[in-house]
Chains A and B, each alone.
Chain A
Amino acid sequence: MKKSKLFVALLLVCTLVFSACGSKEDKGNNSNQGNGQENTGNNGSSGNGSSNKGSGEVYVYNWGEYIDREVIDMFEEETGIKVIYNEFELNEDMYPIIKTGAVNYDVVCPSDYMIEKMIQEDLLAEINYDNIPNIANIDETYLKTAENFDPGNKFSVPYCWGTVGILYNKTMVDGPIDSWSALFDEKYKNEILMIDSVRDAFMVALTYLGYDQNTTNEEELNAARDLLKEQYPLVQAYVVDQVRDKMIGEEAALGVIYSGEAIYTQRENENLEYVVPKEGSNVWIDGWVIPKNSQNKENAEAWINFMCRPDIALKNFEYITYSTPNKAARDLIEDEDIKNSQVAFPEPSVLERCKSFKYLGEEMENLYVNKWNEVKY
């Protein structure tokens, strides 16, 4: 009897909480949100194609925290297209989703070598530039760089770019750091945050050893693997995006980070300094692509066009602090410090020592993954 009462009580709680939230939802300025969510489910499950067509949706798959959310609202308002927005952390997380077609995304934002791979595997649809007049805002330099992985710029439109480097805490290291060697230095044991991404991690080791970051030579790879294995006991944690919080909180002295994150962390903790090591590093471009199995290709192109608008690109840049290839947007930046920031827009000399990733073929890629597993497990 007592029990039953408890449960009635608990039930009451549930319903109360539930109805309270329901009413909040109604009071909210956009009360359709929840219903929209439901409808999406209905549309999604009632068949694999036809129902999505022309229903004014666009499925976007982007890196985590890689857009100013207000931009999504602005896009929805201006175009009337509903955005279903999802995030991934690594190219390698995104790839199987697109490949297996588990979800039919309309527009995705992979990195250079992944775009090359997807082109080779015939996963991408050609972009119709008639729908993207704003492409004119993109700096020629980056379109040219993009031709390295996407000849003729047929499949991708650059969105952000940056370098990979070391973020360190001035108060926790001895003197300025300018070399990858710091990451392999015994004295920073347990103070190192290593990047948890196959290609980037190997890039660090290969570059430090003086090898090419796109090497297909197994000897060189083995040497890099052994180096990373030696590094394992020194590493505090393998992270990708978490490096941000940990560096701000002074959990570690130094970590491998993408240049775009560096500006944000410097804002939060002024002891932090970013450097592209002297041995060289990786420069990357992330671009918008449209998968072949997209159901809303025109909406996807509208999305890409919107992202290339100077005011939108600027808004995104200010929020995510990753360098923009949009020259019109860069001109709009008011803060001179940022406009000329060496982190966001490094001098040519820095870029000269950086290279970008190439897709190395499935076999080579598996070899990288296997070697990486041998490091960690």
Chain B
Amino acid sequence: MSNQEESKVTTAEATVTLVKKSHRFSGKSLLSFPYILWMGAFIIIPLIMVVYYGLTSKTSNGFTLENLKLIADPINQRALFLSLKLSLISTLVCLLLAYPLALILKSMKLKSNSFVVLVMILPMWMNFLLRTIAWQNILENNGIINTVLKALNLPTINIINTPTAIVLGMVYNFLPFMILPIYNTLAKVDDNVINAARDLGANSFTTFRKIIFPLSIPGVISGITMVFVPSLTTFVISNILGGSKIVLIGNVIEQQFQKVGNWHAGSGLSLVLMVFILISMAILAKYDKETEGTNVW
């Protein structure tokens, strides 16, 4: 609004107001100064450190690409591809589970959004490691599911320590991060718009395809990122539910730091991982024109 008005005033006046404005607001911009310092010191510089470590090595001086080349090692490559595969599957499963749920929740017309937020956030008050360990109890050979199946004389399942268990762990841990953004965007869709579409003769499928889904895309995008990135990089879930039989790229990096003690190799692999994250962000950002500033990466 104020911008439009400004454009109408004469240039002289504009200069005056600009000077005034910049004077008045420079004080306010200063408020972000501690933040800029903080982020510089604790986000930018550390990332530069990762880049530096990733491009140097213990033995040779100067820059080297040897740490980045580690990803070509068949072992690491397998870990990376498995991570990509499992995280894509879990993202898809989350999406398929979350979208219908969000639609149903919207149709229930709950008194307040806060209820949904609550139900999704509440489990977080129980530590996620404990919750993941609880899945061991549920899935184990003598676990809860199998005990029930045995009692019913049904064949037992054997999914603990398999990729399936890891996908299940990922879906379980990150599902709320898919449900919430989708539900939030859906909740904002005005019922009148939907009714209008119906009145104009659209059937429910067309309404969904032309109205509801396009409006929910920002939520879907942010849901996908919030599930995909942590799934891609996890090492805890694969440790607990994979019985150390299945090695993901997160495990490889964690091992380089905590067990092998080769920080250069670990940083190099982290850099490769970041490239994959950036690529996926870039792809998603293409579909996401709506949200200003929130999903730049």
Contacts and interface: CB of A to CB of B under 8 A. Distances in A.
Direct contact of A and B (CB under 8 A): yes
A27 interface: no
26 contacts: A2-B112, A3-B114, A6-B112, A6-B117, A90-B259, A92-B259, A93-B259, A96-B257, A96-B261, A100-B263, A190-B141, A232-B245, A236-B161, A237-B243, A237-B244, A238-B243, A238-B244, A249-B140, A249-B142, A250-B142, A251-B140, A252-B141, A369-B260, A376-B247, A377-B75, A377-B247
B114 A6 contact: yes
Q: Which 5 A-B pairs have the closest CB atoms?
A: A237-B243, A96-B261, A6-B114, A238-B244, A377-B75
B112 A96 contact: no
A373 interface: yes
B150 to A, nearest CB: 13
A174 B227 CA distance: 46
Interface in A97-155: 99-100
Interface in B248-282: 257-261, 263
B31 interface: no
B125 to A, nearest CB: 9
Contacts of B244: 196, 237-239, 376
A339 to B, nearest CB: 34
A95 interface: yes
Contacts of B75: 373-374, 377
B200 interface: no
A73 to B, nearest CB: 26
A206 interface: no
Nearest to B244: A238
Interface in B92-131: 112-114, 117-118
- Residue with the highest number of chain B CB atoms closer than 10 Å, among A3, A237, A252, A377: A377
Interface in B52-80: 75, 78-79
B158 interface: yes
A6 B118 contact: yes
Contact of B142 (A237, A238, A251, A369): A251
Contacts of A90: 259
B247 A237 contact: no
Contacts, number: 59
Interface of A: 2-3, 6, 90, 92-93, 95-96, 99-100, 190, 196, 232, 235-239, 249-252, 369, 373-374, 376-377
A95 B255 CA distance: 12
A236 B244 CA distance: 10
Nearest to A237: B243
Contacts of B79: 377
A340 B244 CA distance: 36
A236 B114 contact: no
B141 A251 contact: yes
A99 B261 contact: yes
A250 B142 CA distance: 8
Interface in B140-172: 140-142, 158, 160-161
A93 B161 CA distance: 23
A6 B118 CA distance: 9
B142 A235 contact: no
B245 A93 contact: no
A373 B252 CA distance: 10
Contacts of B258: 93, 96
Nearest to A100: B261
Given A196-B244, A377-B78, 7 more contacts: A92-B260, A95-B261, A96-B258, A96-B260, A249-B140, A252-B141, A374-B75
A239 B142 CA distance: 18
B76 to A, nearest CB: 8
B147 to A, nearest CB: 12
A237 B245 contact: yes
A93 B261 CA distance: 9
A36 to B, nearest CB: 24
A376 B114 contact: no
Given A237-B245, A377-B75, A377-B79, A96 B158 contact: no
Contacts of A376: 244-245, 247
B161 A237 contact: yes
Contacts of A252: 141
A96 B140 contact: no
Nearest to A88: B258
Looking at A236, A239, A369, the one whose CB has the most chain B CB atoms below 10 A away is: A236
Contacts of B140: 249, 251
Contacts of B114: 2-3, 6
A369 B252 CA distance: 13
Contacts of A374: 75
Contacts of B243: 236-239
Contacts of A373: 75
A233 to B, nearest CB: 10
B113 A235 contact: no
Contacts of A6: 112, 114, 117-118
A260 to B, nearest CB: 21
Contacts of A100: 261, 263
Nearest to A1: B112
B222 to A, nearest CB: 18
A6 B243 CA distance: 40
Contacts of A190: 141, 158
A252 B140 CA distance: 10
B78 A238 contact: no
Nearest to A9: B114
A113 B97 CA distance: 51
Contacts of A369: 260
Nearest to A245: B136
B119 to A, nearest CB: 12
Contacts of A377: 75, 78-79, 247
Nearest to A198: B259
A346 to B, nearest CB: 29
Contacts of B78: 377
B126 to A, nearest CB: 13
Nearest to B262: A96
Contact of B113 (A3, A92, A239): A3
B164 to A, nearest CB: 14
A200 B258 CA distance: 19
